């Protein structure tokens, strides 16, 4: 039975820790009438309330009527940041999702939300507070993970090389 050397075992454990630590959390979106933790009031008018929840790579907007807090389902919802339109996807539960990576590089983007309802169009503006990791990792997450895996693979290969080398016999005198 072949035994593993300590450096090889250490590299294997580091590799395992790196792989399990780099696994992104499963993306979940707001659904149902329950408001998830971390939801913030983004904007409010006399008729509407816009709640925002950042989850992984998605921003979920919940638009409610001020009078009875019921979800407003509208096919006329548009979001823009600094004059740039952001694609919005309506969900069946009355929420609207959009990618966080398109909100720019600031941690406090100002969103302009246009909502058409009851024959009128309302423009609501609000400042969103993003988690410190959201915009910074939006474009670099995969490349950073690639470099971690590449570095671990190199260390693992070097450890395998040194652990499998045969010692030279000492010259006889």
Percentage of the chain beyond pLDDT 70 is 71
Helical ranges in the chain per DSSP H: 6-21, 141-164
pTM, two decimals, is 0.55
* Band of pLDDT at residue 74, cut at 50, 70 and 90: confident
Q: CB within 8 A of 160, min separation 6: which ones?
A: 8
> Taking 80 as the threshold, does the pLDDT of residue 12 lie above it?
no
More confident residue, 61 or 8: 61
Statement: residue 104 has pLDDT above 80:
no
> How are beta strands 120-127 and 77-81 bridged, if at all?
unpaired
The domain in which residue 101 lies consists of: 40-127
Q: Is residue 62 predicted with pLDDT exceeding 50? A: yes
In the chain, the number of structural domains is 1
Neighbouring C-beta atoms of residue 131, cutoff 10 Å: 13
Any domain includes 27: no
CATH code of the domain covering residue 82 = 2.60.40
Range in 27-36, 86-95, 148-157 the model is least confident about: 27-36
Whole-angstrom distance between the N-terminal and C-terminal Cα of the chain?
34
Q: Is residue 163 part of a domain?
A: no
């Amino acid at each position: 039975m072949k035994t593993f050397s300590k450096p090889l075992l250490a590299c294997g454990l580091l590799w395992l820790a790196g792989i399990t630590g780099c696994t992104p959390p499963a993306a979940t979106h707001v659904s149902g009438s329950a408001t998830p933790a971390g939801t913030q009031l983004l904007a409010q008018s006399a008729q509407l309330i816009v709640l925002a929840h950042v989850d992984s790579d998605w921003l979920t907007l919940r638009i409610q009527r001020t009078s009875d807090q019921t979800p407003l389902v509208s096919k006329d919802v548009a979001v823009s940041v600094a004059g740039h339109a952001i694609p919005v996807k309506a969900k069946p539960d009355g929420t609207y999702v959009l990618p966080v990576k398109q909100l720019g590089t600031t941690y406090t983007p100002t969103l302009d939300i246009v909502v058409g309802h009851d024959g009128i169009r309302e423009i609501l503006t609000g400042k969103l507070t993003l988690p410190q990791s959201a915009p910074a990792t939006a474009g670099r997450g995969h490349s950073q993970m690639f470099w971690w895996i590449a570095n671990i693979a190199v260390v693992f290969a070097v450890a395998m090389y040194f652990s499998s080398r045969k010692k030279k016999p000492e010259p006889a005198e």
